Amino acid sequence: MNKPLKMLIGLCAVAFASVAVYSYLSNPVVAIVGDYKITQRDVKYKNLASLVNNPQEMRNLGLEQLIRGYTYAQILKNNEAAITNEVLDKEVERINTHSSDPEMLAKIKNVFGFDTKRFRRVFVLPSYAERAVYSELFLKSPKLREEASKSAENFLQVVRNSPQKINQSAPGKSEKLLSYQVSYKDGLREMNDSKKIEKANPGRRGIAARPLPHLAPKLRPKLDEQRANEAKHWIQDILTTIKPGEIYPKLVEHNQQWLVVQYLGATQDKENTYQFKAAVFSRTDYSSWLDAEIKKVTIQRL
């Protein structure tokens, strides 16, 4: 290699090194969360995007928001659910298609200008990660579902051979023995100890028989349809496939809980109304699980 060529290569190396040093000094890394780096410029853009949603916010919360988002992203990665470019492509498409406030979204995109990579990294990725840890990982993980169902499965095997044992204290994580009624008209309802039917809470006990007064009229037919479908599933697919007194041979997943179900039969005072009792086993507590996962993520503030 001749001398001029060596000098040219040397000058190029120095130039590249200088650019790298300048880039770092002008946009230093301010935090490292697992495998993710957060730069000063990332924080700046996060703060600007937050101001679009809340112009009155004077605090600089961008760094903590990004640390939280990337912590969730690392949890996904640790559990073999890493956020890939393909995942981000789908999330961007979902945001563009289903945004409830397209004008607000346009303003947020305007903050990032032509820097679409930063928009994906600073805005899309953290918000997706926080949602996906629960909806895509915790709720759908075969491993977590299997761990949570072990106690319930063991109890099911015991009571299938001896149905009367469902009234005994269940081992493991069973919290209580509950009584239910279900009908096509009223949906699924939980009963208290006095056998008086309580109005169900849609988030915990099934779909209430009567739509809440504050619901918009256009939503009531949808709620009625959901209630009817739920009742149909319980009556046709579960209860009437076995005889009164028998235990349903499979675990029933309901409202993030596992139920060991004993069919009691049709009620005599109400037409097309069926009764059953269930030993309820809670799945893994989300808060406890999340706290344990967060502790596995290394966070460095620089």
How many residues can be counted in the chain?
302
Instruction: Report pLDDT for 220.
Output: 63
Q: Which residues of the chain are modeled with pLDDT < 50?
A: 11-24, 193-213, 215
247: exposed, middle or buried (C-beta count within 10 Å: 0-12, 13-18, 19+)?
buried
Q: What is the DSSP string of 214-270?
A: TS-GGGHHHHHHHHHHHHHIIIIIIGGGS-TTPBPSS-EEETTEEEEEEEEEE-SSS
The structural domains of the chain, with segments of one domain joined by +, span 26-140, 142-285
Q: Report which DSSP code applies to 17.
A: H
Instruction: Report pLDDT for 3.
Output: 59
Instruction: Report pLDDT for 77.
Output: 97
Q: What is the CATH number that goes with domain 26-140?
A: 1.10.4030
CA 239 to CA 248: how far, in whole Å?
Answer: 7
CA 171 to CA 151: how far, in whole Å?
Answer: 7
Number of neighbouring beta carbons within 10 Å of residue 206:
23
Instruction: Report pLDDT for 4.
Output: 56
Question: Pick from 116, 82, 115, 77: which is nearest to 96 by CA?
Answer: 116
Using an 8 Å Cβ cutoff, are 111 and 49 in contact?
Answer: yes
| Main-chain dihedrals φ then ψ at residue 32, nearest 5 degrees | -125, 125
Helix ranges, the chain (H): 3-26, 40-53, 62-78, 85-98, 102-112, 116-118, 125-132, 142-161, 220-232, 286-295
Instruction: Report pLDDT for 199.
Output: 34
pLDDT tens for 114-135 read: 999 999 999 999 999 999 999 9
Using an 8 Å Cβ cutoff, are 88 and 125 in contact?
Answer: yes
Q: Report which DSSP code applies to 33.
A: E
User: Which distant-in-sequence residues (6+ apart) come within 8 Å of 94 by Cβ?
Assistant: none
pTM confidence score: 0.66
Q: Which two tokens stand for residue 228?
A: 């009817």
Instruction: Report pLDDT for 224.
Output: 76
pLDDT tens for 16-65 read: 433 333 444 579 999 999 999 999 999 999 999 999 988 887 788 999 99
Q: What single-letter amino acid sits at 187?
A: G
